[in-house]
A and B are shown apart, each in its own frame.
With several copies, the nearest count.
Chain A
């Protein structure tokens, strides 16, 4: 068992007839992902790469009740509705590729998902890949090799370079998860760490965070409870500081959000801090010792 998607996970693609979605549907199919249907309202009856297109998720699920994971590729103004539709039809995980979703929309969809116990990944995620098994999203397959390291990152490109760095060192991934780049995310580091902790095919986890936001700090206490080693790579140490603007949000978020605050919180809870990409596999090997063959 990988996390979120596996060889046998049946998935659907919402917004499948868009140029980008259609292209990556082709790539996903090639990779072996089991796509049972696509959805674009008003285009029911068409096909994309032999994948049947439906008008509604309900129609798609009625004919393919085995589907449990969906990816969302619709334009941002329709993303909230597409997510709510996926929740309504009983999807378990929703991978939101769409970027720049209005903040209030994403908050609404996120709340609806939490109430129903549904996992949203993203928005603005490059996707999720369980190498050699299945790919949902637009991660470049070349970067990923099958293995026993779980990775989770905010930035898509950083995900690729970490995988690259692991692979060059002879390591591979169980699953690689992009949290997404939008300001409001459905899933945060802690959620994914919990999945990896329970996953029998994962021995250790790499989490890659960056300056801004609070999700790294919020995940830190859970790292202290984990049995598996966590290597953290935080970028933005040298980033130019924006001018300090007094704003009400800072009252809530306090001093979180700098690279230093994130690194401190993670380190204090037992995460191993990698300064560079190439340090990541080194730290992993040290932590796992002889476990890795």
Chain B
């Protein structure tokens, strides 16, 4: 879960890291501009990089100029997102730019501190073009970072004199923040050395572990709560997000109702493999309520592009009878006429089958294009039949 720059800097300030005194301005008004010293930098708040090239970073020498430039940034679209806020900070004169980050190294299963004298640029490029300029220090989980370790690192960045101790404090603070708030990534790029001998965090990135938010009520107090990841959402994706359903629109004609995310990914592969085109990715696994199951079916069947539905349920933690009930209720209430080819196996399979059979008897017309296979039907045959059904609908 990524934070906006202004949020990350508020978190940084709590750990004593040297951020500039900035103000955040949104469409509500410009009063806050009275609080800053000019000249200023205006930075549109977005998750996606390349803000400079997109004109999201502007400079202003006066309040009037700032107001004008902010107006031009607010409402711009960047990486599929409208810019809703800008961060306004005093402009500083930069002498050198450094790079600092702490991340979870998923290869070594340890924490990793990375530093570079080449700050202010894309660090992945530095890593590939000048790997010797990117220094890496691994830390065991739970290990203390002592000041001397941070100092050695700061010294390696070419900091000396008073800047050595300032740099040591920044590295210690960044690591403590990383550990203290369960971060996946805590990054400063650039950490600037100014011409008046200060060390300043100019840009800050924080990626939090959503699954650890419960133990950081202070973040909630700061208005930082779980949120959807980056990317422009389609209308259907927005509906799905509101309902708490992991869902991504694709451009095919087969609605996919696959159970868990793992088989959802496999199902998309298999549909393509056999010449079909999936209309979506979805995670309908775990043990969703019947209401949620029906909302999932609705997402698929209300999509005009969808010609047929592929459905699968392998009852492990979830129950087939619950799933069958939800399908039946949705069909009876919404009377969809699109073909649905499905397979149901596992926990409470027998009970589920009875529910389907009974519904078929009661509503033969509604269930004419609906088939629910059992354990003995290979899932790929179900997929192939769905593809045939979709083609027949054209």
Contacts and interface: CB of A to CB of B under 8 A. Distances in A.
A–B in direct contact per CB < 8 Å: yes
Interface of A: 20, 24, 41-45, 55-59, 76-78, 81-82, 84-85, 88, 100-105, 107-108, 110-111, 126, 138-140, 142-143, 153-158, 160-161, 164-165, 168, 181, 183-184, 210-211, 213-214, 218, 235-240, 242-243, 245-253, 275-278
B379 A101 contact: no
Interface stretch (B90-98, B264-272, B301-309, B358-366): B264-272
Interface string B138-167: 001110001111011001000011101100
A84 B152 CA distance: 13
Nearest to B270: A276
A56 B152 contact: yes
A104 B123 CA distance: 24
Given A107-B104, A249-B104, A252-B105, A240 B49 contact: no
B307 to A, nearest CB: 18
Contacts, number: 225
A239 B110 CA distance: 29
Contacts of A239: 265, 268-269, 281
Contacts of A138: 316-317
Interface stretch (B17-25, B36-44, B204-212, B323-331): B204-212
A156 B281 CA distance: 17
Nearest to B140: A111
Contacts of B47: 245
B165 to A, nearest CB: 5
A102 B347 contact: no
Contacts of A246: 49, 122-124
Given A41-B168, A154-B262, A161-B379, 7 more contacts: A42-B165, A56-B152, A103-B182, A142-B345, A183-B106, A210-B262, A277-B270
A88 B153 CA distance: 14
B182 A140 contact: no
Interface of B: 47-49, 79-80, 101, 103-107, 109-112, 114, 122-124, 127, 134, 140-142, 146-149, 151-152, 155, 160-162, 164-165, 168, 179, 182, 184-185, 187, 205, 207, 209, 211-212, 214-215, 229-231, 248, 250, 258-263, 265-266, 268-273, 278, 281, 285, 312, 314-317, 345-347, 349, 375-376, 378-380
B179 to A, nearest CB: 7
Contact of B184 (A243, A249, A275): A249
B124 A168 contact: no
5 contacts: A44-B164, A126-B317, A138-B317, A249-B104, A251-B123
Chain B interface mostly:
mixed
Contacts of A111: 109-110, 140-142
Nearest to B379: A161
A107 B109 contact: yes
Nearest to B185: A248
Contact of A168 (B104, B112, B376): B376
Contacts of B285: 156-157
A44 B124 CA distance: 32
Contact of A45 (B49, B160, B312): B160
Contacts of B209: 102-104
Nearest to B272: A238
A278 B185 CA distance: 41
A240 B250 contact: yes
Contacts of B106: 183-184, 213-214, 249, 252-253
Nearest to B49: A246
A236 B265 contact: yes
A222 to B, nearest CB: 15
B210 to A, nearest CB: 8
